[in-house]
Each structure stands twice: as C-alpha cells, then as structure tokens.
Chain A
C-alpha cells in the first residue's frame, strides 16, 4: 500500500527551491516578433524553432525555473488544419524548450476549444481521449500543466487522462472572473475540493485578470486548499482600444508580493508579461519566505457551481431510487430521463441540499444508466450528488463523469467492500458513506457499530482519504421489528460524532416501516437523530413535515440565526398547512370543471386532479381514448383554424401530460398494461443543437399515447439508424433549424432507407419546406407539431 505521507516528486522540487518561478507570456512575445493576427503559434515550433527557444531562454535567463512549451492549442481538433500530428508538434515543442536550458520543461495544455455536453456537443469521453493523446505525445516533458481552464468537467477529463497515462506532476490553473467564478460558473472552493481530491500536485489561477483583481480570488483559493498555490496573472487589464497591457515590471512584482503573504508559492506571468516582469518577480522572491500553509479545510462536497459545507444538518433527498416504486422502475426500463430529472427538480424545490442517485434495477444496464442519469441531472442543476449503488463498476461510471466532488454511498466493514470501494473514493477524490455492518451483519450494540466505524475510518485514512470525507451511517432499524435497537442507533450516532469526530449520515425513513401513520414516527425520530448529532439525514424532502422538522431543529439549535430561514418558510403560513403533505396532494375540487375543459384551458394541476378522480370510476384507457385525446384533437383543430396559437396548444399539451402521468402511475401500480399506440424515434440531426421544436413534437406525440424514443440533439446518423433498427419503429421524426445542417438530415434519411427500409420519415424545422423535404427523400413534411401527430395517426392507423 502506498504511504500517503510519502512526499511527491513535486513536493521535493518545491522544497528545494522554496518558491518556483514560472515563465511569462508566450503569445505576447510571439506577437511582438511578428506573428500575424489569427496565426497559429504552434507552427512556429517548426518554421522558427530558434525564435521559440530564444523566448524560452529569455525567461530562463531571468530566473524562471519552469518553462511552458509552445503547445497551448496543440490538440487534434485545433491542429486539424495544420496537417501536422499532435505527437510531432508536441515533441518538437518540447525539444525547443529543452534547448533553452530550462531546469524543468512543462507540457502546456490549454482548453480543447469546444464546449463539452450538454451546452456543447463534445462528449466527456472524447475530451478525455484528446487529452490522452497530448499527454502521451509529451512523454519527454518533466511535468504537465493545464492552464486557462474554465470548465471543471473538462479539467477532470484532463487530469484523469494525465493520471492514467503518465506519472508526472500535474499543475492546474483556471481562469476566474471578478465574480469569483469562471465563465461556466465554476466556483473557487469547487475547483479546490475537486482537484485536490483528484490528487494533482499544485493548483492556481492564470490569465483573465491582473494581479490586483486576482488578489481576493487567490485569497479564497488559499483558504480552500492545502496544495501549493500557483498565480500567473496578466500584466493588468488590457486597454479596450489597443488591447495592450499596462503594468510595468516593478508594479507587477509589487502586486505579486501580496500573493506570497496569502500563501502562494509558484509565480509567473500570463498575457502581456515579458522577461522583465519575470525578472522582477524572481528578484522579489529572493527576499521572501513561504508562509505556513493551512492544513485543514472544511468538510464539504460540491458540484462545479455549488459547494455544500457539512457544518450543519444538510438534507439528502432520497427520491431518486426505484425501491418500492413501480412508476420509477418503469421510467428506468424506458430510459425516461425526464422522469428522473423531475424527481430531482421537485426535491430541490422542496429544500434538498444534496440528492442521492440510485438507478439500480435487475433488468437494466445500471452502469450506463448511472452515467446517463448523472450527466442529465448535472446538466440542469447545481445540487451536489450522492452516488448510490452496490456495484463498484456503477459507482466508478458515475464518479468518472461527475462534475465536482460527490459522496459515494457506500462502503461497509466487509473486507471485499473496503478493498474495492475505498480505492475508488481515493482515486476520484469523493467523500464516502461508511455503513456500520460487516460480514456478520449489523451489530446489535452501540459498541459493535462504533468498532466498525473506527475500522472504516482507519482503512480510509491509510489510503490517504481525509477524515473530513468519511461520513458514518449507524443504520436505522425498523422500530416495528427491532424496537430495542432504536436507541442503540442514536447512541452510536452520538459516539461516532463525539469520539471519532466524524460526520454522520442516516437513512431515516426506514424507522417507521410496518407502522401505521408512518410520517408521525419518522418525523419524531428525525428530531431525535438530529439532536444526537446527525449531519446528513437521508429523507423525502417532498414531505413537508420532514423539512419543517429540519428547519425547526436548525432554529432551536441556534444554527438558523434570528430564525431567518424559518420565518422565510413559515412566516406567512397558517399553522395547519405546515404539516400538510405537499400541496399537490390537496384535492381542490375544481368546481364542475371537466378534464376536457382543464386541458383546453391548459390547467396542469387541475387536469391531474380530475384524472385521479376519474380513475375511481373509469377505466384508464377509456379516459385516454374518450377524454384526453378528443380534448387534444379539439385543441389541435383550433390551432389549425387559427383560433388558438402555439403557446396555447403547448399549454394544453402540458395539461394533458400531467393527466397522462397520473394514468401511467395508476397503470404501473395496478396492472401490467401500458399505453402504447406505436413507437416513434425522434432526433435533432447531427450538427444541430436546437431542440425546442423537437421537444414540442415529443410532448404532443406522447400525449396521444405514442412511445417516443428521444435521441436528443446533434445525433449521429448511425445512432438514428441503430435506434430505429432496435425498436423497429415504423416512423422516424427528424428536426433541423439551420440551413447548414440540412445535408445532415439528408444523410440520415439515406442511411435509414438503407438500413431500415420499413420506416417512414417525417421532417420539420424552421428552414424546411415541403419541396425541400421531398428533395431530400423524406416521406412527410410536417409544418408543425400538430401535423406530425396527424401523420403519426395515418401511419399507425389509430
């Protein structure tokens, strides 16, 4: 086993030098040497190697210990137009840097230049592979630097590629704006927690701002990391008209001195800095001594854009979990990510601080489902996640693509578990839930559980996992079956908290299983556990009384100072509402309204409520066929006649959707019947990222009972053909908004004709016309969502 106390090579280098001096701007020097606007700096490694070596040398001569190779954009995407291989560019650039006599040569890697999914179209796995190629090409460098990064997910891909394909020290700097966030919203604590967790050797900031503006940013960073901190500022802010930077070398070094007082130990310059700037910085450093760094940082987890500090009770939402929920299981089988996303949104709106994600079901591929769920949830929310599975491969799949520092749920005292889960936690820098059970089951006594907690802690510490990142679950036993065990759990929570000084987590709801009025039992147990020292209750936040219990506890425990949060939530509410379950369960009798009129008026919650009532007396399919669909037909006809407009049609569709959700839920619980009037594949074609139109079509088709396989946007031709083959769908709908992506639509249709001759195609989108649709071989052109439904009805003859 690796000894975590052993010093890394980089720490030794740093200790030897006290401070490390980096180089200054490369682009600035190249422009001064005549690189034209829009020129490719990396090509100068070939066309003018002397120039490059001289620039490196000019920095070495003034005291830089480390020079960055001229390879900022040397990735396969940016270099495609140069017709040179990444390997060739990078190895040549390293040779040029070596010629300068630099003590250390750092392989310099900037952002890929395309945004990752879901805002962009680049997949995490592709990003990883692009970085891997650069890392492998840079085998001759001494260290690896990722700089000017703004997307934490991209940095994670980069660091994983570096860790898995080299053993060189890794330095990472990101670019922050004056609001202490990057362009993608990444926070400083999130960067620090995530990258220190991944085991990089030093972190810091570069570019974007001058040394004055960076001061508060560096201060915050130093508070959030125990790693050596790097600062590589621009030479002030550029002049808006001339784009020139104005800080002279003395001013620059003067400002940089303050970084040392905050704890930074690696300094250099970015845009606008020259060897003169680096000379003054190197001289200034000779007079300084590094300050003693902080060695403890708070216990916290994060997404890229949100950090949750575990310094008070934080609610983990338990609803993303199929156990005992037939509707959830059906959603997993149908790969219905929207259903999962809406579970996430509801819990966040109810007050969850973190979300547990469990997508385990025997009949599905849990590994890819975990990946898809994590990517989808982090695409719409900043709430940090707890990845929950019994399968280590599933956990790793989630850990790889998670953008931040998650919690792993869970490890336990069994050898097999300790040996597989803890190394994953360490590798990906997560926090972990430790269950107090082992080969012999759950110990009955407090002592037994405490002993397992201690064992888990010691094993985690031995691997280099921080104490602050181990959360112990003392396990709730059901009061109806093991009444004498309830107090044991509470005692164990108290001892783990006070004696081991660890944070605690507990699935609370289990306490009331098998008892009448479960909520009453659960809520009181929750209060008791919080008082015993529970930090992370795993509960259903959609149950209002559970959240009110947590908020009241925080008020009484003097955490919610001046009752600010409590009053914000309950200040205007009448007493009887506080303990009522969520409001949508309260049946408002919508006074004589019919399902049809609710749908036509676009009233979502009323449509749902009326459907619930109707289900007590009517068959589900009768409601669909005789009420829902006729109402939608009427809305569609009004839309066609120009009596209502698109937003009103969509609003009716949304109301119908909530009625449908009630019916689906009912069918899941009561029978094996499902609504499926035919399967349709939908996609926004390759190269196009506009999906609003497609989504409108989707909801309308679903309302008519069609099973829609939604492939999303920017969908490769092959993926459309594959999904059509697999589902044998008789109809495929393709959407494109841009003139430039119409050829992709044509190519998709051609491939469909080859591989799926049975299927018909319907196309739509802003730039399409009926003539053009015919020209590219589509079977149908639909001018709007309503017409797509008419076409589907014809194809499926229903």
Chain B
C-alpha cells in the first residue's frame, strides 16, 4: 500500500490493530470441483487460459472468500479513520491470497499423483471477467461460499477469488504468474524500478 521501507512505529501499531480486527472478523470459505477439461471447453475463452491449460486433461474450478464480514470490517475501519480503512483493505487482499494458497494446498492433497498449474483467474490476460457467472454457477458458489456477482460481474463479498487450476499426469513446465493479473501493471512503481512486488 505504499508505505516507506521503514515505517514509523505509529503505522506499525495501526497495522497490528487492523490485522487483529480483521482476523477476528473474517469467516473464510472455499469450494472447488473437479472437471474433465473436455466438459468445460465453453468456459475456456481466450488464448491465455488455453495456453495455461495446454498439457492438462482435468481442471479444478475453485473459489474462495474472506466473507462479508471482511467488507463490514473495512467499512467500519474507514468510517472513523481513512488510513485504517486503506490498511484493512490492503491486508484483506493479501489475506485472500494467503487463504487461497492454503486452500489450494488442501485441495491438491486429493491429487498426489498429478501435477498442477498455478491458479489462473478471470481477468488475467485475455481470459474475460464475463466467464465469472458460469464459473460460479458450476461451483454453486452462492450455496457453498456466499459469493455472488453484481450486475457488472464483480464478486461480492469483495475479497473473493475464482480460479482454474489445471491438472496433468505429466510434469508441467514452470510458469510465472508475473503481472498479468494486476490492475496496476501499467503504472506500477516496482515495475518502473525493474523489480516485482512479490
């Protein structure tokens, strides 16, 4: 969120407080389903997702959310303190990714003999957001996790993720997620310096 490299104690204290409140509030949830790639051809719109799943025969559809409580927690924080709101929001985004990592590791335990791609989400490259609706309905995401779409295909609760993970019997060559899915990729201060944020 653009803090200096060595922030003041004041910022660190506020960050601790925001983190504590957020962790207390959230009730994270995820769900997933396994499909044969051939059964879901209609979902694979664009070149990038096809490349991503090139050598895969199956795929896992996946979604996860920090729950509506994360939204409430952010709203509450920013009502009395905009900075706390911004910090809570940034933390919730990071936490969503961490939660997805944990969930993914759990899921992949079911497939000890397969190789998996990284999570590829609608909005990355040319894989359009418009697939969200089908993706979520295949997962029965509202029943399983409470995730819904707005009319403009944005997920609510806001701190939610959908993704596809390809599975293959053969080793998958190492891929890099890079900046392909990032909204800020065009004006990222890290990229300008020639480095990455993670």
Chain A neighbourhood of B157, CB < 8 A: 115, 119
A699 and B82 CA atoms in complex are apart in Å by: 8
Binds B, one of A197-205, A290-298, A687-695: A687-695
Is the CB–CB distance between A119 and B71 below 8 Å? yes
Question: When chains A and B are docked, how far (Å) is the Cα of A705 from the Cα of B47?
Answer: 51
Could you list some 13 contacts between A and B, CB below 8 A? A119-B158, A179-B27, A338-B79, A342-B79, A345-B80, A380-B72, A380-B75, A645-B2, A653-B82, A654-B83, A687-B151, A688-B152, A692-B74
Supposing A114-B150, A119-B68, A645-B2 touch, asked if A602 and B10 sit within 8 A by C-beta, the answer is yes
**Interchain CB contact under 8 A, B29 and A695:** no
Instruction: Name the distance in Å between B102's Cβ and chain A's nearest Cβ.
Output: 15
In the complex, the chain B residue whose C-beta lies closest to that of A207 is: B143
Taking the complex as formed, is A38 at the interface, i.e. its CB lies under 8 A from any CB of chain B?
A: yes
Residue A37 interfacial (CB < 8 Å): yes
In the complex, how many residues of chain A place their beta carbon closer than 8 angstroms to a beta carbon of chain B? 61
B186: chain A residues within 8 A (beta carbon): 767, 769
Assess the B86–A647 pair: CB atoms within 8 A.
yes
The CA of A121 and the CA of B153, in the complex, are separated in Å by 11
Q: Is B81 within 8 A of A654, CB to CB? A: yes
B96 on the A face (CB < 8 A): no
| Contact A695/B68 with A380-B75, A602-B10, A647-B7 known, Cβ cut-off 8 Å | no
**Shortest Cβ distance from A348 into B: residue:** B76
Query: Does A243 lie at the interface of the complex (its beta carbon under 8 Å from any beta carbon of B)?
Result: yes
Docked Cα-Cα span, A185 to B71, in Å, equals 12
Contact partners of B80 in chain A: CB under 8 A: 341-342, 345
Task: Judge whether A311 is part of the interface by a CB distance below 8 angstroms.
Answer: no
Residues of chain B with a CB closer than 8 A to A179's CB: 27
**Distance (Å) between the CB of B36 and the closest chain A CB?**
11
Q: B112 — which chain A residues lie within 8 A by C-beta?
A: none
> Which residues from 46 to 86 on chain B have a C-beta closer than 8 Å to any C-beta of chain A?
67-69, 71-72, 74-76, 78-83, 85-86
A151-182 Cβ-contact flags toward B at 8 Å (1 or 0): 00000000000000000000000010101011
Interface residues of A in 688-723 (CB under 8 A from B): 688-690, 692, 695-696, 699, 714
For the A-B complex with A115-B156, A183-B145 known, give 10 more contacts whose Cβ atoms are closer than 8 Å.
A114-B156, A115-B150, A185-B68, A240-B107, A338-B79, A647-B83, A651-B11, A688-B152, A766-B184, A769-B187
| Given known A-B contacts A119-B72, A341-B79, A647 and B142 have beta carbons under 8 A apart | no
A379 beta carbon closer than 8 Å to chain B: yes
Q: Which B1-19 residues have a C-beta within 8 angstroms of A?
A: 1-4, 7, 10-11
Chain A nearest CB, measured from B90 CB (Å): 9
B104-127 interface code vs A (CB 8 A; 1 in, 0 out): 000100100000000000000000
A148 to B86, CA, bound (A): 34
Is B39 located at the chain interface by the 8 A CB criterion? yes
A33 at the B interface (CB under 8 A): no
Q: Is the CB of B156 within 8 A of A689?
A: yes
Cβ–Cβ < 8 Å partners of B34 in chain A: 241
Q: Is the CB–CB distance between A185 and B69 below 8 Å? A: yes
A738→B183 contact, CB < 8 A:
yes
List of B residues within 8 angstroms of A148 by Cβ: 143
A646 lies within 8 A of chain B by Cβ: yes
Q: Are B154 and A688 in contact (CB under 8 A)?
A: yes
The answer to whether A689 and B89 touch across the interface, beta carbons within 8 angstroms, is: no
Given A119-B72, A185-B68, A741:B1 Cβ within 8 A: no
> Which A residues form the contact surface with B (CB < 8 A)?
37-38, 111, 113-115, 118-121, 148, 150, 175, 177, 179, 181-185, 207-208, 240-241, 243, 338, 341-342, 345, 379-381, 602, 644-648, 650-651, 653-654, 686-690, 692, 695-696, 699, 714, 737-741, 744, 766-767, 769
The contact of A120 among B35, B72, B150, by CB within 8 Å, is B150
Within the assembled complex, what's the spacing in Å between the Cα atoms of A412 and B183?
58
In the complex, number of A-B residue pairs with CB atoms less than 8 Å apart: 146
B100: Cβ under 8 A from any A Cβ: no
Are B143 and A689 interface neighbours, CB within 8 A? no
Residues of B within 8 A of A741 (CB): 152
How near does chain B come to A608, taking the closest CB pair, in angstroms? Answer: 13
Contact B82 A380 (CB under 8 A): no
Q: Is B165 an interface residue (CB 8 A)?
A: no
Contacts known (A111-B142, A647-B87); A695 close to B154, Cβ less than 8 A: no
Cβ–Cβ contact A38 & B83, under 8 A: no
B82 & A654 in contact (Cβ 8 Å cutoff) = yes
What residues make up the interface of B, taking CB atoms closer than 8 Å to A?
1-4, 7, 10-11, 27, 29, 32-35, 39-40, 67-69, 71-72, 74-76, 78-83, 85-87, 89, 107, 110, 129, 134, 137-138, 142-143, 145-146, 148-154, 156-158, 183-184, 186-187
* CB of B62 to closest CB in A, whole Å: 12
Measured CA separation A405–B40 after assembly (Å): 46
On chain A, the residues within 8 Å of B4 by CB distance are: 644-645, 648
Q: If the complex has contacts A183-B29, A654-B81, A687-B150, are A37 and B183 also in contact, measured as CB distance less than 8 A?
A: no
Instruction: Give the distance in Å from the alpha carbon of A686 to the alpha carbon of B150 in the complex.
Output: 11
CB distance from A298 to the nearest CB of B (A): 26
Closest-by-CB residue of B relative to A382 is B72
Across-interface contacts of A695 in B (CB, < 8 A): 78, 82, 85
Of the listed residues B78, B134, B149, the one surrounded by the most CB atoms of chain A closer than 10 A to its CB is B78
Inter-chain contact A645/B78, CB cutoff 8 Å = no
A380→B69 contact, CB < 8 A:
no
* Chain A residues within 8 Å of B146, by CB: 150, 182-184
Q: Determine the residue in chain B with the shortest Cβ distance to A767.
A: B183
Interchain CB contact under 8 A, A689 and B154: yes
CB < 8 Å neighbour of A740 from B68, B75, B129, B148: B129
Q: A114-B150, A115-B156, A148-B143 are in contact. Are A737 and B27 (CB under 8 A)?
A: no
Contact yes or no, A380 B143, CB < 8 A: no
CA distance A182 to B146 in the complex (A): 9
Q: A648: which B residues are within 8 A, CB to CB?
A: 4, 11
| B residues near A688, Cβ cutoff 8 Å | 152, 154
Contact between chains at A646 and B1 (CB < 8 Å)? yes
Task: Tell me the complex Cα distance, A695–B78, Å.
Answer: 8
Q: A240-B110, A647-B83, A654-B82 are in contact. Are A175 and B69 (CB under 8 A)?
A: no
B82 near A650 with CB under 8 A, answer yes
